[in-house]
Amino acid sequence: MRQAFRSPLGATALAILALLLIMAVAGPALFGRAAAAVDTANILAAPSGAHPLGTDNLGRDLLARTVAATGPTVALALGATGVSVVLGLLLGAAPMLLGRRARGLAVGFVQIAVAFPGLLLALFFATIFGVGAVGAVFAIGLAGAPTMSRLIQTLVAALERRDFIAAARLAGLGRGRVMAQHILPNISEPLIIQTTIGAGNVLLAFAGLSFLGLGVQPPAYDWGRLMNEGLDRIYINPLAALAPGLAVVIAGLAFNLTGETLAKALRITTGLGGVQVDDAAFPSPTRPSPAKGAPAGAAADAALVVEDLRVAFGPAAPVRGVSIALAPGEALGVVGESGAGKSLAALAIAGLLEPPARVTGQVIFKGRDLADGADHAKLLGTSLALVFQDPMSAFNPARRMGEQLAELGRAHLGLTRSEAQARAVDRLGAVGIPEPARRARQHPHQFSGGMRQRAMVGLGLMGTPALLIADEPTTALDVTVQRQVLDLIDEVRREHGAALILISHDVTVVAERCDRLAVMYAGRVVEELARDRLDQALHPYTRLLLAAVPFLDTDLDQPLATIPGDPPAPTSTAPGCAFAPRCPLAEDRCRASEPPLEAGTAGRVACWRPGTPLPPAGADVIEAMAP
């Protein structure tokens, strides 16, 4: 910040703004009397040593009036900016705070309002509110609100998708608290910048309304009013109109340059720019639909039973009927290529998918259907631990680590503030974070990647986890820390008897850590088998996937193996087996109808030709790929 304001641009902005504010505060006191002093002997005097800008039709000194007008001009501009910000915040936050229909209306309303030019809106509202300073404040404030609310809606929509918001919702926080505690602090920087730049534009607009006679009315005056009065004599004494005009330009520049310098200083790297709020983004709610019965083979005391889980985004269906069951303490590894639907299925199980996602199917967690009852958030908050792929985005960057853990203790465990804080420190210590009391007072950016993942596990341990979902938990970590995090997850699982869903694209990691593997392809589980029966895999995709894993004795002089082709797009409605275009065993039946997931010799498999040896030509399928 210091560096930015020491640059020529920043220093100029700061100097002009400081001068403007000093004039605004001291100007009326120092020049107010001179500005009001009527001098009938000097009516409409030309510029002179005594009156550098001349006098008006009552002989009042125009320089004194211009300086004295700084205070009211800036105050009115800030008032109108305040109206814009408050209304912008209300409208901008509405889509997140309101129900489905209301949020669609709020987004649509703002988009329509943004389509009108600001000045046109200001004139429209000024006509409604009537001439005068107060009417102009509201007219300009209302005219600026759509732009502000559009910015806020965009920022909120982008933040809503971040993992730490999902974690806050999982902790059971209501929408209002998520907005107040997690979203507003994180959008404050762009808001401050937009407000500062906006204040300059508002000042200009206010001067425009007063100049047109719709703003400040005599005997009060601001720069716009002075310009209006000076216009009559523009050819006789141009300074009478030019001086307040110049003041408007300089003041507008001061606000704009300060905003630009702030933007530069704060280095807005949130990646939120360009994110658009989709108008059609608020269709139906997404809780799993009613049950059809537990999957075959699921034990009565299963920790988790998922039946026919489907996720759709409009015509795209990235998850297409996932059915899995986990016993308490059991570890299930979910593998598959990127886009196979692994992470979406996990988020749907945790109830964290929001519109426009549509989730159907049944999720029974600890014997309770998550579609039933209002307390499913509490159940998930205390019994489900999530470890996200990117530990940086999993925590609110604006809040201390201890606070974020303690929040869950207060929301679900009924702990007081001090008890929750003590438990947060204890849990950070339990996951191996040194000096937990000191670390609890730090922010996420002060933690290393491995420590953030440990803290994420610690967050899950605020309750008593019955299920851990780890979604590619080591992707962002270096190899030595990867093992430590996986060991910690193992340790927690064994200590608490929790079931584990470990999602990875790395078959070897999953085979090492899990009891069973579920192989996903194009949104479905195509094979499920025990870890020690991997050599008995029946599905061609599983076998090709395993054959493509490099080992230490892999001849690195030879091209690495890969599976040719690409998975189908989620929007594909082609009949038959989704793997058929890439499968060396594909036949007419495969292309005509989709094979169901049925019991096989080593687990469950969805294939019309399970276990059929790959033809010799199948060797070509493991395509040569230059390293």
- Residue ranges binding ligand SF4 (CB under 6 A): 539-540, 577, 579-580, 583, 585-586, 590, 595, 607-609
- Shortest Cβ distance from residue 587 to ligand SF4 (Å)? 6
The DSSP bridge partners found for residue 529 are 517, 603
By beta-carbon proximity to ligand SF4, the closer residue of 353 and 607 is 607
Nearest to 585 by CA among 555, 543, 548: 543
- Shortest Cβ distance from residue 610 to ligand SF4 (Å)? 7
- Shortest Cβ distance from residue 565 to ligand SF4 (Å)? 12
- Shortest Cβ distance from residue 583 to ligand SF4 (Å)? 3
**Cα–Cα distances in Å, from 335 out to 306, 346, 459, 526?**
17, 12, 25, 11
Cα angle, residue 348 at apex, residues 357 and 371 outer, rounded to 5°: 95
Phi, psi of 308 (to 5 degrees): 50, 50
By beta-carbon proximity to ligand SF4, the closer residue of 560 and 586 is 586
By beta-carbon proximity to ligand SF4, the closer residue of 320 and 493 is 320
Does an H or E element contain 384, and which?
A: strand 384-387
Q: For residues 284 and 306, what is the distance between their CA atoms, to the nearest angstrom? A: 21
- Shortest Cβ distance from residue 177 to ligand SF4 (Å)? 48
Query: DSSP string covering 138-191, please?
Result: HHHHHHHHHHHHHHHHHHHHHHHTSHHHHHHHHTT--HHHIIIIIIHHHHHHHH
By beta-carbon proximity to ligand SF4, the closer residue of 192 and 546 is 546
Q: 47: exposed, middle or buried (C-beta count within 10 Å: 0-12, 13-18, 19+)?
A: middle
By beta-carbon proximity to ligand SF4, the closer residue of 446 and 601 is 601
By beta-carbon proximity to ligand SF4, the closer residue of 516 and 539 is 539
- Shortest Cβ distance from residue 527 to ligand SF4 (Å)? 9
By beta-carbon proximity to ligand SF4, the closer residue of 443 and 609 is 609
By beta-carbon proximity to ligand SF4, the closer residue of 299 and 619 is 619
Q: How far is CA 464 from the centre of its chain?
A: 28
- Shortest Cβ distance from residue 315 to ligand SF4 (Å)? 23
By beta-carbon proximity to ligand SF4, the closer residue of 232 and 598 is 598
- Shortest Cβ distance from residue 621 to ligand SF4 (Å)? 11
Q: Give 247's Cβ-side CA count (13 Å radius).
A: 31
Nearest to 121 by CA among 62, 209, 43: 209
- Shortest Cβ distance from residue 595 to ligand SF4 (Å)? 5
